Each structure stands twice: as C-alpha cells, then as structure tokens.
Amino acid sequence: MGYRSFVAIGDSFTEGLGDPLLDGSGAAAGGVVRYRGWADRVAERLARLEPDFRYANLAVRGKLIDQVVDVQVPLAVQMRPDLISFCAGGNDLIRPGSDPDRMAKKVAAAVRDLRGTGAEVILFTGMDPRDTPIMRRARGKFAVFFMHIRSLADLYGCHLVDMWSMQGLRDWRAWSDDRLHMNSTGHRLVAAKVLDVLGVPEEGDWRMTWPPRERVDSRAKLREDALWFRRHFAPWIGRRLRGTSSGDGVDPKRPHLGPLS
C-alpha cells in the first residue's frame, strides 16, 4: 500500500541533527544549518511512489517525552495522516531520576491516540548505550524502556524499528563529532531500516559492515576527547545547570502537512 501522507514527531533524532542539508557550494543554505535526517529521507522515497504525497516533521531537538506527547501528538492527530513515526525518551533517560515505567505509560497513551486516527504508527527502540562512556551507566534503564516500546508495538499493532540490533551503528564512523547524534551515514542506515520495516523497496541496505579502522594514537585520542568535552559535553552540562534546552526557541522544520519541495 502506498502512503499518501507521513507525519514525524520526536526530538533531535527525528529532526535530523547530524545530517546537514547543504547547497551546491558546500555551505549551509542561507547561512543557517538545516537538517535532512532519516525521516526526510524516508519521506523522499515515499514521495517517489505517490504523486500526491504530503509530509510534516514536528520534531524539535532537546524535547522531553512529556513535551512531545503534550504538544506534537495532538497536532499529528489533527493532521490524520496515513503514517506517523513516534520516537522520544532519549533526552529523559540520560537525566538522573527518570522512570522508564512512567515514561512507557506516557507513550502508551500517545500510541492509543495516534492509532485511534487509523494511521499506521512506527515506534523505535534506541541504540544499546554500552559503547558510550557516559550513557552506559544507565544501560539497564534504557533496556527497560525499550522493552516497553517492544511490547507497545506488539499490543497496538505498530511497526517496530529495532535499532538495538543495528550493528552498523555501533561504529563511531556513523556518528557526529558530538557523539550523540548520527551523521549522514547513520541517518541513511536508519532510513533504510525504516523502509525495510514498512516493506517499501529501497536500493540501500541497513546491514552494514565497516572496513577495519586505522589504529589511533593514544595521545591523539586524548586530544580528541578533550576537544569533545570542551565543545559538546561542557555546554550540555551548562544547559542542565541553567535549566535550558537546545530546543528553546526552535520551531519544527516542517510544521504543516504539505508536498515535498
């Protein structure tokens, strides 16, 4: 079955951070970095199969699960598309005191509302955080939440994109310098996985084996870690202390259901 409309909701993962959309000169269009991401890539493929295809992307970086459910889900329900993707919770899980069981109840209510429109819904498990020094301390919490997502997909008849099993994403060459967002290669792999789950023919394959990586000098690795701490981790800590978010003042990139330009 062809999809005539698709609405993507969530946080930076769905907004597409790490996958910049550049013009022909290699500079961000208009001097402002815009992002493509897996959802745009999926929409582009679906649009090639359906002439009247429409797409909206309501995702905003930094949003917590309550914000996604309370703001974006009602908008998606009003749009009544054929297909809705929902992925949220990562920003909650990396915060102390987050409760994966409470989060899952919030997701369950959202999925009921989304499925109630008659739309097909895509849910996601996230990556196994064991390779990430900071997040792997909360690996058990991540696993509990993702098991809830699996059960909700089964209970409500949703498509499930299992990123935990995507070995190609375990290589740092699929990730941006901030070590939190996928780069263009990572987003391309996720898009291929989504299309595979939907049963949509696609040239690319999400199963990827990376060639052996050159050995990195230990001193170079220390310099790289220090640069990451200064450019990415320290600002993140600063936002937590100030109670601000990277998504403050950021609007959805495609707030209305319309044709792809």
Which CATH number fits the domain that encloses residue 45? Answer: 3.40.50.1110
pLDDT mean across residues, the chain: 87
| Residue scoring higher pLDDT (97 or 177) | 97
Domain that holds residue 141: 5-258
Q: Which two tokens stand for residue 254?
A: 């495609």
Predicted confidence band at 166 (pLDDT cuts at 50, 70, 90)? very high
Percent of the chain with pLDDT over 90: 58
The Cα 81–Cα 106 span in angstroms is 21
Predicted confidence band of residue 171 (pLDDT cuts 50, 70, 90): confident
Residue 146 has pLDDT above 90, yes or no: yes
Query: Looking at per-residue confidence, does 222 or 154 come out higher?
Result: 154
pLDDT at 28 over 70: no
Q: Give the number of domains in the chain.
A: 1
Tens digit of each residue's pLDDT (9 = 90 or more) over 62-118: 999 999 999 999 999 999 999 999 999 989 998 888 999 999 999 999 999 999 999
For position 33, what pLDDT does the model report? 74
Please give the torsion angle defined by the CA atoms of residues 250, 251, 253 and 255, in that order, rounded to the nearest 10 degrees: 160
Q: Specify the higher pLDDT residue, 20 or 7.
A: 7
pLDDT (average), residues 45-59: 95
Query: Which residue type does 228 have?
Result: W
Phi, psi of 243 (to 5 degrees): 75, 30
For residue 230, which amino acid is it?
Answer: R
User: 0.85 cut: is pTM over it?
Assistant: yes
CA distance 160 to 197: 7
- Judge whether residue 25 has pLDDT over 50: no
**Which helix (H) or strand (E) is 11 found in, with range?**
none
Q: How confident is the model at residue 216 (pLDDT cuts 50, 70, 90)?
A: low
